Structure 1
Amino acid sequence: MSKFFNGLEKYIYWTSIPKMGINDIVDILIVSVMIYLIVKWIKTTRAWVLLKGIIILLCIAFAAYILQLHTVSWILSNTMSVGITAILIVFQPELRNALEQLGRKNWVTDIFSTESRQEEQEYTARTLQEISRAAIEMGKVKTGALIVLERTVALGEYERTGIPIDAKVSSQLLINIFEHNTPLHDGAVIIRNNRVVSATCYLPLSDSVEIDKEMGTRHRAAVGISEVSDSLTVIVSEETGGISIARDGKIIRHLDPQGLRDELSVLREEKGQNKKFKLWKGRNRNEKKN
């Protein structure tokens, strides 16, 4: 009987809530705030996609450990150590910017701020129409332009290199931004959730050898941003007035007005297909429950 009570006492001890002091509460709050700020920062950079990939690899490693897949476990364990060093090298600019922002931010307002990045929203027909109209008009007078439409991959790190705008998309606004000899004409415009969020943004240049030598920096920047994100970029050539679109590391050139509208309409079609797929999954789930 004494053994039974001793075992019961140990069980109650392990399942009981430990005593918490003020130091423990402060410790938990500090760690929670740190994790929140790190995740919030990651979601505005390309590191968010990398984090998803790391989570998938950890799930594979856990499954390999459970199923005793020794070869897979050996490969993952040996590549993880090298992968951490590679991550630090690849994302060195992002980490440097994060440390620079560490001393510039107002942490009190940042922690209690209710603003957060919204999920990818569908680009309205009006927004795409205004963008195509602006590109066509600028092409007629050979005004160079670079318009980036953000999708699921956040472009916060490139947005911060420009000047904040936060205005509703209109053809008149875009034409005025890229007008010659104006303060905002140099660089790219980033559009998110049907709003112009930033202008004069610097984009990464592509090193691809497949790009035609006659294309300049504007086209290489458009291809470069499409290589590191799933964005779609509209380019208007300053030399020829030709309109192009860069997407998935490729560039489509010499688009006529109808071709430009067709390429932009893909954004709405893909979003609609994703919605249909989600509705179809939900309908199947409900049918199984019934």
Structure 2
Amino acid sequence: MSSNSGTEMNGKFPEPAGNARGSVLHSAGLLCSLLGMWDWIVIKDALRAVVEIFILWVFLYQIYRAFHATRGARIMVGLFACFLALVVLAFFFQLNVISWILTRIFAPGLALALVVIFQPELRVGLAKLGSHPFFSSFAKLQRVDFLDNFCKAVSKLSNQRFGALFAFERSISMKPIEDSGVKLDAIFSPELALTIFHTKTALHDGGVVISGDRISAAACVFPVSQKEMSDRTLGLRHRAGVGMSEESDCVVVVVSEETGAIALAVGGKLERNLTPEQLKGRLEELLNISSSNEKTAIA
């Protein structure tokens, strides 16, 4: 028998040459690299999908929060339902003309209609966004001007003995309180504040909610505090101010109708007998408003 046959009979095979072994190891390494790269691509695509879903969820949830309780919500639902129904019909029955109309005419028209329908809500949202101190120093200057006007209004209310109650919305929404009153969505001005709290007007009996630099609502019902007051002469207006500050993180300003004294309630605590200048300083601190370089005299 040949030598090869003898080797096979003994159960021994010739070892692969050095080049062949290196080729096998190189192929195995390349395969592992490809598998690792494939795993990374899959993971990266999965992460991208998760991020996109999260962003879309947050965006849609914020839209739902902003518009679900508005009068135009049903109109929006109806328009979207019609749009989706037409899209499904055009897709299944290959209605090319309808598809062209939907993409070129109906979709832009729908977007424009939503802007028109929700114009008040969009205006309020953009006003809140623009008043955020993150965006520009101009927003801070606007807030300082607003605070000057507010303290001037409080000073005039105090001098004329008009009882007043203001609540500044902070991080906790005051929408349920706004719903109890008359919605205004008006830019704050001393003249408007004096008009609201004049005893001959229908809006004077209740509180005013201020969001940003706008009056969101007037004649709102504030919850009355049930805790014991140190001064028994404090009336219902002061108790409502303290009660509102107990149930929210808002800052409440109270003007006494009897004495004209100015008070501030925050966190369930009442700070009394403030001057307009002291009130401005406390509001700058509590509302995180940067003061201007020059002190504005409050008449």
TM bracket, shorter-chain basis: 0.5 to 0.7
* 1:146 is aligned to 2:171: no
Question: Hey, what does 2:92 align to over in structure 1?
Answer: none
Question: Hey, what does 1:244 align to over in structure 2?
Answer: 263
**CA distance, structure 1, for counterparts of residue 174 and residue 222 of structure 2:** 10
Post-superposition shift, 1:250? 1.5
Question: Hey, what does 2:146 align to over in structure 1?
Answer: 127
Counterparts of 1:154-165 in structure 2, within 5 Å, are 154-165=173-184
**CA distance, structure 1, for counterparts of residue 69 and residue 187 of structure 2:** 31
More deviation, 114-123/214-223: 114-123
Post-superposition shift, 1:191? 2.3
8 Å Cα contact 2:144/2:290 also seen in 1: no
TM-score with structure 1 setting the length: 0.55
Counterparts of 1:195-234 in structure 2, within 5 Å, are 195-210=214-229, 212-234=231-253
Among residues 255, 265, 289, which one is paired with 1:271 in the alignment? 289
The unaligned stretches of length 5 or more in structure 1 are 45-97, 274-290
Q: Deviations over 1:120-158 (max 9, x none)?
A: 554645433433333333334443210123345554443
**CA distance, structure 2, for counterparts of residue 15 and residue 166 of structure 1:** 52
The unaligned stretches of length 5 or more in structure 2 are 1-24, 78-110, 134-138, 292-299
**CA distance, structure 2, for counterparts of residue 237 and residue 221 of structure 1:** 12
Question: Hey, what does 1:77 align to over in structure 2?
Answer: none
Question: Hey, what does 1:66 align to over in structure 2?
Answer: none
Question: Hey, what does 1:60 align to over in structure 2?
Answer: none
**CA distance, structure 2, for counterparts of residue 188 and residue 17 of structure 1:** 57
8 Å Cα contact 1:205/1:223 also seen in 2: yes
Q: CA RMSD in A?
A: 4.2
TM-score with structure 2 setting the length: 0.54
**CA distance, structure 2, for counterparts of residue 36 and residue 228 of structure 1:** 29
Q: Cα distance 1:133–1:99, how it changes in 2: closer, same or farther (>3 A)?
A: closer
**CA distance, structure 1, for counterparts of residue 145 and residue 179 of structure 2:** 26
Counterparts of 1:1-290 in structure 2, within 5 Å, are 1=25, 3-17=28-42, 32-39=55-62, 104=73, 106=76, 109=114, 115-116=125-126, 117-118=128-129, 119-120=132-133, 122=140, 124-151=143-170, 153-210=172-229, 212-255=231-274, 259-268=275-284, 271-272=289-290
8 Å Cα contact 1:162/1:199 also seen in 2: yes
Q: Cα distance 1:211–1:202, how it changes in 2: closer, same or farther (>3 A)?
A: farther
Report the secondary structure of 2:270's partner residue. strand
Post-superposition shift, 1:159? 3.4
**CA distance, structure 1, for counterparts of residue 223 and residue 53 of structure 2:** 36
Q: Cα distance 1:30–1:202, how it changes in 2: closer, same or farther (>3 A)?
A: farther
More deviation, 180-189/150-159: 150-159
| Residue identity opposite 1:178 in structure 2 | F
| Residue identity opposite 1:158 in structure 2 | I
Q: Cα distance 1:34–1:184, how it changes in 2: closer, same or farther (>3 A)?
A: farther
Post-superposition shift, 1:30? 7.5
Q: Cα distance 1:99–1:207, how it changes in 2: closer, same or farther (>3 A)?
A: farther
Post-superposition shift, 1:251? 1.0
**CA distance, structure 2, for counterparts of residue 212 and residue 168 of structure 1:** 35
Post-superposition shift, 1:262? 1.7
Post-superposition shift, 1:173? 0.8
Q: Cα distance 1:30–1:101, how it changes in 2: closer, same or farther (>3 A)?
A: farther
| Residue identity opposite 1:268 in structure 2 | E
**CA distance, structure 2, for counterparts of residue 227 and residue 14 of structure 1:** 54
Post-superposition shift, 1:101? 6.4
Question: Hey, what does 1:58 align to over in structure 2?
Answer: none
Post-superposition shift, 1:235? 0.9
Report the secondary structure of 1:261's partner residue. helix
Report the secondary structure of 2:289's partner residue. helix
Rg larger in 1 or in 2? 2
